[in-house]
Structure 1
């Protein structure tokens, strides 16, 4: 698996690269921050580690550009530890956030988790899966959801949330179950991360004409509320 590393601190970039290579990852660590998008396309990387404060354009900008062409997992690595920075990272298309300084064990755990979720479970499937429920058609591998002759493209985490909600419909799914199922390393994920991703999914469901389709059940979790016919 190839990792695309965007970090302007030369020393830290070298340390991260060396540590990842110990786990047999192929690391493309760039030092030309004016051409991040172009270099990412050439790298054909499976996962991106993205700093926020980099020359020319910040990591938020480059994440939005990458998201136009790729669904590869993006983990932000930044010294900015404010809650709003982490919310913005998710809003701009990131999948996870690590605050510097972080342990390399946690970095490796998150990299493995995201690669497993993005490629390991579905990589050998011969036929595309299609999940249908009450007028909704979801294509997990394409991360596309269709309803009312409209189509929305989801992020990796949004897709995993929707798949879980559809598979358990109409049951209530607890926040703890969603965190454990989708992020694997539950203890390392801020509870707010789930709320942010669920809000993003709700907005896309609204665009499909499915307003109020994800119900928050106070003290229990979430469930789908669908009234359309099959």
Structure 2
């Protein structure tokens, strides 16, 4: 079933949207703790997000940017803010559409159907998903996921880029300079220790897949990925 996450702090509007979504066969997720939007997103992986601008703690533009780090799912704003700049900011921060309140439920449903078709259905581009495989370890750069023997972990974009660079050159030392160029367009604003942070994060993700000691630090040279794990397929 298609799942839609509703990020709206007005309970009446939430219930109205939920009623219409479920009427048309969609499953819904309502956000109650507005500091855990990304936690709920990762837990449920919705197919589409309906997002308000004015929210407690952080606004909708912030959450739109956070979702775009890990997903390309359609994001539709529904907001009482009618200014052109609000619409521009929503689109610039990664949204796919912007609707103003009050809204017609039929229009919301029509837009949801349209964006779902474009993202997953008859209008979606027929592009084969890119994968990178090394001894059964599979990286899915577009979905930011790493799997081994049926178990998977989620990644952020920088972690994915780091793994992609290392997996494409297994057993070979990849210099810090090459990794910095791959991960950041403008290196002059990047603290040299930032790369160490992402290497540590990637090691933790590999450990979740029961891979330890595979990502080696070669002092004075860079990093190397050695396929020490077992492919049990």
Give TM-score, length-normalised by structure 1. 0.54
Match of 1:41 in 2: 42
2:70 is paired with a residue whose SS is: coil
Cα distance between partner residues in 1 of 2:67 and 2:129: 25
Hey, what does 1:128 align to over in structure 2?
128
1:46-67 CA distance string (max 9 Å, x none): 0000001010100000110110
Cα distance between partner residues in 2 of 1:49 and 1:43: 14
Shift of 1:115: 0.3
Q: Structure 2 CA distance, aligned partners of 1:3 and 1:24?
A: 11
CA positional deviation for 1:39: 0.7
Once the 2 structures are TM-superposed, how far is the Cα of residue 122 of structure 1 from its aligned partner? 6.8
CA distance in 1, matches of 2:21, 2:71: 22
Structure 1 segments (4+ residues) deviating >4 Å: 122-125
Distance 2:110 2:16 in 1: 17
What residue in structure 2 maps to residue 177 of structure 1? none
Q: 1:72 to 1:129 in 2, by over 3 A?
A: closer
- Unaligned 5+ segments in structure 2 are 131-140, 144-156, 158-184, 186-233
What are structure 1's unaligned runs of at least 5 residues?
A: 131-140, 144-152, 154-206, 208-230
User: TM-score, normalization: structure 2?
Assistant: 0.54
The aligned counterpart of 2:77 is 76
Q: CA RMSD in A?
A: 2.5
Q: How many Å separate the matches in 2 of 1:90 and 1:97?
A: 8
